[in-house]
A and B are shown apart, each in its own frame.
Chain A
């Protein structure tokens, strides 16, 4: 099958992997993760500033817009280490928003925002709606042309880190066509954002009420590039979350192993029981498959056809392996696994949330089937 990609790495990727491994481990010990879960903002502003200073938001932005001019492939090891250490910041949503701008924004829109993002300004996407459909082309919110500009109406859900984002990219139907539009946070009326109770307590998410917001016509993306923009967002989000979930799988397996190596029952270390050992191996095998797919997806990024197959395979495998490893981690921790203090639940909840954001493993497979067999 000629749409199956290969695996490979770049030098920059490996350098970033080394740096990110240390940075994320040092900046995100589990005590801090848990403290930030209770915090309104939900992340450490100092760490966010450092991420900006390290240039990580600039990696996949072209040099013409003050970026580094690499690709999403080089973002992968960073997102992987963030997921591994549950280091939550607006990094993912900002990176995906930048890719959306690159796919659908005009030259002027890109010039206005990409240098800011490259320098550390947060951005996000407001695309999800009440119908719950993962299809980004299914848009009920409306943009109506008026004398003052485009008047927006409707509600957007699961807008991550919206209270920190300077730029929000949303989707509305204008004259029967789906259009992407930029909203500056400064233009939001009071009360437009409502913090949502989401299953992943390490993330922050908001519902955005569009009613009462009017944007100028030049805040709309190119109407001819809506489809490409949707594709780019799906792939960028698929890759970023596949990376985070793969890192998370590694972490939750290691966390489980630690318990299996120390906990004793019936005078034996429980890790010596095959009833625990064998499924742990199976989960580990699934994780390694996810990581292989992840670096294949990174390698195939930008290749027509192969890129989408590789990203969806990576997302499907990452979501299923993360879900399963975290689910078994809860079980294998016994009574402790049922408590909020056990870290297994953090991963289980994150796997559910990430699946909800990009489409779970079954959804990814349904998209893949068309690419592979039809």
Chain B
């Protein structure tokens, strides 16, 4: 793997990526494309995104910086960055296999055996093997460390009993990264947990779809009833489940394993909201002539610009000396809450039209804003609620004591 990218090669690759995404990006396939991997609802959406990811991978624009021997491109990170920039530029659809490429993949590349790398990495890159995440349980959402799904060792197998919930793509996945309890006597709740690379298509595992507040489907509850998996599925050793689960969260920052590239969640295009505001009326005048709406929209512009620039500032150590964990840890909280507020705000632009929803011809932008607002809660709740995020920032960036 090269330490420094060859400038000429990088330039050539960048131009090729730009041309490829310009040529191949489909933005309107004739049905609504999911904005995040958590929103994949219909077979049509799933098949389209799976094909798209395979196509991007095969063209060399996903996993370009992952090791060649396992299916990656073996290139310097700058190459993948260039490819991701091209994706963004042409507003390309999301990468589907978020849990595989963003969570399981980096963990396996970092700590997995040679055999595991050979077995799992390529299939997640080409989207042949879809991955899902089994952390939350019906009774244990924010209190993840208290997960109760049982994994009992029986010879060279583990027997699983219990249930996981909010599993995005759970009914379509081949594998699940699973947090299960192997020791009910452990000195604390965390030490009783183990981490598994769990096959989904086996006897004893069933899923039931959950209808979301938007009216769409996108995730499932997974039931484990005497499901038997090979002991080889254990990852990181018994009792290390919590630290494995926490590690999957670290890779997002790209410090240890080179990022796979692409994106699993589409950023909201703020200019679309400004456009919507400009095209809306209030009391017979343009909406942005209304002083209250004008002031609010300006405040949101300030917020958006700050969060966008924060992404650059995060990579500038000279501006990160005081409380260096602050900016990285607050990002999820600040961004997801802002998107929720903004999409809610956009409903107010629509006047009477705010009453319509997806599917009605009178709906503004076919209900895109309503759907975006309702879906925004997936990000303020999923992956650790905003309330949990505030605890994390308070405890790990500001040094406040734990809440007990």
Contacts and interface: CB of A to CB of B under 8 A. Distances in A.
Interface of A: 1, 4, 6-9, 14, 17, 250, 257, 260-261, 269, 271-274, 277-278, 280-282, 284-285, 288-293, 295-296, 313, 316-317, 362, 365-366, 368-369, 372-373
9 contacts: A274-B403, A280-B394, A280-B400, A289-B307, A290-B306, A296-B309, A362-B295, A373-B278, A373-B298
A277 to B, nearest CB: 4
Contact of A274 (B305, B327, B391): B391
Interface in B293-349: 294-295, 297-299, 301-303, 305-307, 309-310, 312-313, 316, 318-319, 322, 326-327, 330, 333-334
A288 B330 contact: yes
Q: Which of B278, B301, B404 neighbours the largest number of chain A CB atoms within 10 Å of its CB? A: B301
Given A9-B316, A257-B399, A278-B390, A284 B330 contact: yes
B379 to A, nearest CB: 16
Contacts of B403: 272-274, 277
A373 B401 contact: no
The contact size tier of chain B is 35 or more
Nearest to A256: B398
A292 B313 contact: yes
Interface string B274-308: 10001000000000100000110111011101110
A282 B337 CA distance: 11
Given A7-B316, A282-B390, A285-B330, A272 B309 contact: no
Contact of A289 (B278, B310, B322, B391): B310
A284 B294 contact: no
Interface of B: 271, 274, 278, 288, 294-295, 297-299, 301-303, 305-307, 309-310, 312-313, 316, 318-319, 322, 326-327, 330, 333-334, 387, 390-391, 393-394, 397-404
A288 B318 contact: no
Given A281-B390, A282-B390, A368-B298, A271 B400 contact: yes
Given A284-B330, A366-B294, A369-B295, 12 more contacts: A6-B309, A7-B312, A14-B318, A257-B398, A257-B399, A278-B387, A288-B330, A289-B334, A292-B310, A368-B298, A372-B298, A373-B288
Contacts, number: 122
Contacts of B394: 271, 277-278, 280-281
A292 B295 contact: no
Contacts of B306: 289-290, 292-293, 313, 317
A369 B401 CA distance: 41
A293 B305 contact: yes
Contacts of B393: 281, 284-285
A369 B298 contact: yes
B404 A295 contact: no
Contact of B301 (A289, A290, A372): A372
Contact of A365 (B271, B288, B299, B397): B299
Q: Which of A261, A289, A295 neighbours the largest number of chain B CB atoms within 10 Å of its CB? A: A289
Contacts of A8: 316
B301 A284 contact: no
A369 B296 CA distance: 10
A1 B271 contact: yes
B398 A280 contact: yes
A315 B313 CA distance: 19
B319 A295 contact: yes
Contacts of A4: 305
B390 A277 contact: yes
Contacts of B310: 288-289, 292
A373 to B, nearest CB: 5
A272 B400 contact: yes
A261 B298 CA distance: 36
A68 B391 CA distance: 46
Nearest to B303: A289
Give the secondary structure class of B's interface.
helix
B319 A291 contact: yes
A6 B308 CA distance: 9
Contacts of B334: 285, 289
B294 to A, nearest CB: 5
B327 A272 contact: no
B191 to A, nearest CB: 23
A256 B327 CA distance: 19
Contacts of B333: 281, 285
A296 B319 CA distance: 11
A260 to B, nearest CB: 6
Contacts of A269: 401
Given A278-B394, A289-B303, A257 B400 contact: yes
Nearest to B398: A257
B326 A365 contact: no
Q: Which of B302, B319, B322 neighbours the largest number of chain A CB atoms within 10 Å of its CB? A: B302
Nearest to A269: B401
A368 B296 CA distance: 12
A317 B390 CA distance: 21
Contacts of A293: 302, 305-306, 309
Contacts of A368: 298, 301-302
A313 B309 CA distance: 12
A14 B321 CA distance: 11
Contacts of B295: 362, 365-366, 369
A166 to B, nearest CB: 36
A285 B333 CA distance: 9
A373 B274 contact: yes
A236 to B, nearest CB: 20
Contacts of A273: 403
Nearest to A290: B306
A272 B312 contact: no
A118 B400 CA distance: 44
B402 A272 contact: yes
Contacts of B278: 373
A313 B298 CA distance: 9
Contacts of B402: 272
Q: Which of B278, B305, B326 neighbours the largest number of chain A CB atoms within 10 Å of its CB? A: B305
Contacts of B294: 366, 369, 373
B6 to A, nearest CB: 26
- A-B pairs, top 4 by smallest CB distance, nearest first, are A289-B306, A271-B400, A272-B401, A365-B298
Contacts of A372: 298, 301
B277 to A, nearest CB: 8
Contacts of B305: 4, 293, 296, 313
B330 A281 contact: yes
A362 B291 CA distance: 11
